[in-house]
Amino acid sequence: MTFMIADDVTRAAALARTTFAAAAELDWDKPAGELEWSCWETVEHLIDDLMAYAAQLAPAQPSTTTHVPFGWQHFREGGPELTVFVDRKEGPAGLLQVFEVSAAILAALVATVPADRVSYHWFGPSDASGFAAMGVTEILVHTHDVAAGFGLDWSPPVELCAGALRRLFPDAPAGHEPWPALLWCTGRIDLPGHPRRTSWTWDGTPSA
């Protein structure tokens, strides 16, 4: 089984931040690709996921049956559920700073907790390498959504996509490049012989 590490999270986040920065002067209330969320909301959701994964790893004796009980809220009907959100007065620069911080916090937890620590995730309990892969997947896929909303190019490194696939998606179809395969696994596209998924999960089973 592939082990993803803190450096993978850091690298994915740095590449995503560069892409987001190219849209700093654009309208962040535009829809993020085919999502019902805006580009701003999508990055806030991404931030919230990264922070949630870090929080799950943080306790010395984490639960494997329930999440750390932070509160959450919707800012509009149909918007993402958020524990962590960004002051809109700070604009895109503030959004990107909070994104950078959230990724750094997850990377720090992945790097420092015992490798065999197992914590709750709603798709099934996982370990540090699993949460690293989840963070990478969230970053790669939601950057795809935001880039589509802004008409920006986004083609993440093959090795990050391949690592996420091997760690979380054992059912990924063979014979396809890693990035399209990851987009298919997360319901973004169809592939030849593989209709687009209408629902999906990943397998974060702790590493042997």
Cα dihedral: 50, 53, 59, 63 (round 10): 160
31-54: average pLDDT: 98
Q: What are phi and psi of 112, to 5 degrees?
A: -115, -20
Domains of the chain: 6-185 (1.20.120.450)
Has residue 1 got a pLDDT over 60? no
Structure tokens at 12: 């994915």
- CA-CA-CA-CA torsion sign (15, 17, 20, 25): negative
> What is the residue type of 127?
D
Whether residue 208 is predicted with pLDDT greater than 90 in this model: the reply is no
- The answer on pLDDT for 42 being more than 90 is yes
Q: What was the pLDDT predicted at 92?
A: 98
Mind listing the pLDDT tens digit for each residue in 162-173? Answer: 999 999 999 999
> pLDDT digit string (tens) for 84-116?
999 999 999 999 999 999 999 999 999 999 988
49 φ, ψ (degrees, to nearest 5): -60, -45
Instruction: Specify the pLDDT at position 41.
Output: 98
Q: What is the pLDDT of residue 131?
A: 98
CA 145 to CA 31: how far, in whole Å?
9
Query: What is the DSSP annotation of the chain?
Result: -PPP-HHHHHHHHHHHHHHHHTTTTS-TTSB-TTSSSBHHHHHHHHHHHHHHHHHHH-SSS--SSS------B-SSTTSPPBSS---GGGHHHHHHHHHHHHHHHHHHHHHHS-TT--B--TT--B-HHHHHHHHHHHHHHHHHHHHHHHT------HHHHHHHHHHH-TTPPTTS-HHHHHHHHTTS--BTTBPPPSS---------
Q: CB–CB of 146/42 below 8 Å?
A: yes
Write down the pLDDT at residue 207. 82
pLDDT cut 90: percent of the chain above it: 96
pLDDT of residue 2: 61
pLDDT tens figures, 110-165: 999 998 899 999 999 999 999 999 999 999 999 999 999 999 999 999 999 999 99
